[in-house]
Chains A and B, each alone.
Chain A
Amino acid sequence: MSILGVPVLENRYPVTMDMWPVEHKAFNRIHRFYEHLKEGRLTTTRCKSCSHTAFPPRVICPECLGEDLEWIDLPKEGKVLVFTEQVKGVPLGFQAPLIHAWIDLGPQSPIPRLLSRIINCEAGRLKEGDEVRLVVFEVPSHPIEIKKETITAERVYYAFEPKG
């Protein structure tokens, strides 16, 4: 990739300037969240001492400061509470229609609601109350320098899509 006017950046991917997390284990302690996503699971951490579930996942429990946390699965399906469709002025890196929804994950979920992008859905199709399900997709990979080697870190992220 060539960046005009910034010759020192030629062929360099500005990782710290994109909208996706740096997911590789060399750069965070919650990398299992992303590894679980690759298995199609939406997960977070629960404290083994006080049973508090937090989202997003943590390395400490925000209730008791415990560090003995376990990974638990969140529901992969939910219902649309309210949503918007953005057709114009969609930010770089996203396509129109850019749909956002508040999703009710149900009374059993330790995390009652999530805000998510809705993909695989044409404009005008979604309705309040519609059922949606988790969908995991690839996002751009990036280089990481680890000691003398440069590796390519594969990445994924999640959204929801209409069910059926």
Chain B
Amino acid sequence: MGNRRACIIGGGMSQWGVREASLVDMTQEAGKACMEDVPGLTPKDIDGFLFASSYAGRCSFQTNTAPVMAERLGLKPTSICARVDVLCAGGSTGILLAKGLVESGMADIVMVAGGEKLYTPQKWEVFYSELASIDHDWDAPHGLGLPPPYFALTAKEHMRRYSTTKEHLAAVSVTNYNYGLNNPKGQFHKQLTMEEAMAAPLVVDPLTLYDCCPITDGAAAVIIALEDRAKDLTDRPLVYIRGGAQVSLHSVSANWPGEHLADWAHLRKAAEKAYATAKVSPQEIDVAQTHDCFTISEIIEVEELGFCKKGEGGDFVAAGEINLGGKVPINTDGGLLSCGHPFGATGIRMGMEIMRQLQGRAANQVPGATIGLTHNLSGLNVEHTIVVYGREPLP
């Protein structure tokens, strides 16, 4: 890699929610917000473009989306122009790929964008399309398209083995909804109380309404630039992409890699590899964005990422360790629960929030944060993706 180092220098997102807009519209909104975040940058500076989207083929009847989006954004990429499909981790995957492209010398400045248009003209198609998210011939025929039942099983297992309670789950939703209050681009702006979270209507036992992230339309974009170019383009502190990992050990639910559903062996492996490549330990992470598709996910993630011991995730979140002032503030922009989850855009939103935290300009700022992490799980918990960011490059 020589001295070529990749930095994340700017980002922006469209309004997220139930949008009166197409995927192409929202991608333009996000691209504009992103380019305006780096005032010195013009479209012609960008030589690479990656677009993370999983449902464009299904919900917009559009494959090969990268040239479509690049054209609408005024980009004329000369190093790479491609779509990335890793469902919920598409955005983070794009960022890891951009790091590789920049550090290998293939590209200098890459825009990583992503988005989904999930609300279709008929409501039945919205939910029906989700059957495409999982191993089609082996899990979809069991009606596992929408993930709540799978994560409900996971929550039951965690509750039984580790005495995790409904209050622990609610501590995650209350924290993340309240972080989301000052994120104007997020889907919800709701002051959620513990009482409301505890009294919410049932989705799949033990998960209730605020335990589950919503279905969301939206797009986001970030700029990954070579360190030398980044110094010319921005006066802000540089944020380096220090390392990361993406681990996939199975696809069909029968081949689950852990001892039980609350044992996420694939995430442990991803964490081990990501910390090794970034040369950091879990204790050095100042701020994190972890994949809170369900409250139980965040509880298991803080365990497997090494922020607390296995089985103590419930106590960790309930003790306020994920809040500002806690051990590792998590999902400081609202997370999936409050911002929503347009799959391909989510990892980009997370990367953008960590960038802002490390530049000292986040809405819910963690004072003096220098090392941050993003984490995504994909689909029916079949893949884990981690990106580690730092104010300092790798030693």
Contacts and interface: CB of A to CB of B under 8 A. Distances in A.
A113 B256 contact: yes
Interface string B347-371: 0000000000000000000000000
B204 A91 contact: no
Q: How big is the A interface, by class?
A: 20 to 34
The 3 closest A-B pairs by CB, nearest first: A21-B137, A115-B253, A94-B143
Contacts of B203: 88-89
Nearest to A30: B137
Contacts of A100: 142-144, 149-150, 153
A116 interface: yes
Given A21-B137, A91-B130, A100-B153, 19 more contacts: A19-B140, A20-B141, A21-B141, A55-B254, A56-B138, A85-B205, A88-B202, A88-B203, A89-B148, A91-B146, A94-B143, A98-B149, A100-B142, A100-B143, A102-B261, A111-B254, A115-B150, A116-B142, A159-B142
A27 to B, nearest CB: 11
B272 interface: no
A20 B139 CA distance: 10
Interface of A: 19-21, 55-56, 81-94, 98, 100, 102, 111, 113-117, 139, 157, 159
B254 A19 contact: no
B131 interface: yes
A81 B139 CA distance: 18
10 contacts: A19-B143, A19-B145, A82-B156, A84-B204, A92-B124, A92-B127, A94-B143, A111-B254, A115-B139, A116-B142
Contact of B142 (A55, A85, A117): A117
B45 interface: no
Contacts of B157: 82
A92 B123 CA distance: 11
Given A19-B136, A92-B128, A102-B153, A86 B148 contact: yes
Q: How big is the B interface, by class?
A: 35 or more
Contacts of A90: 143
A67 to B, nearest CB: 20
Given A55-B252, A98-B143, A117-B142, A82 B153 contact: yes
Contacts of A113: 254, 256
Contacts of A94: 143
Nearest to B143: A94
Contacts of B124: 92
Interface in B141-175: 141-146, 148-150, 152-153, 156-157, 160
A114 B143 contact: no
A19 B131 CA distance: 7
A89 B146 contact: yes
B3 interface: no
Interface string B192-217: 00000000001111000000000000
Contacts of B145: 19, 91
A19 B141 contact: yes
B283 interface: no
A143 to B, nearest CB: 19
A33 B204 CA distance: 32
A139 to B, nearest CB: 8
Interface centre among B140, B142, B205 (most CB of A within 10 A): B142
Interface string B211-230: 00000000000000000000
Nearest to A158: B141
Interface string B372-383: 000000000000
Contacts of A111: 254
A63 to B, nearest CB: 13
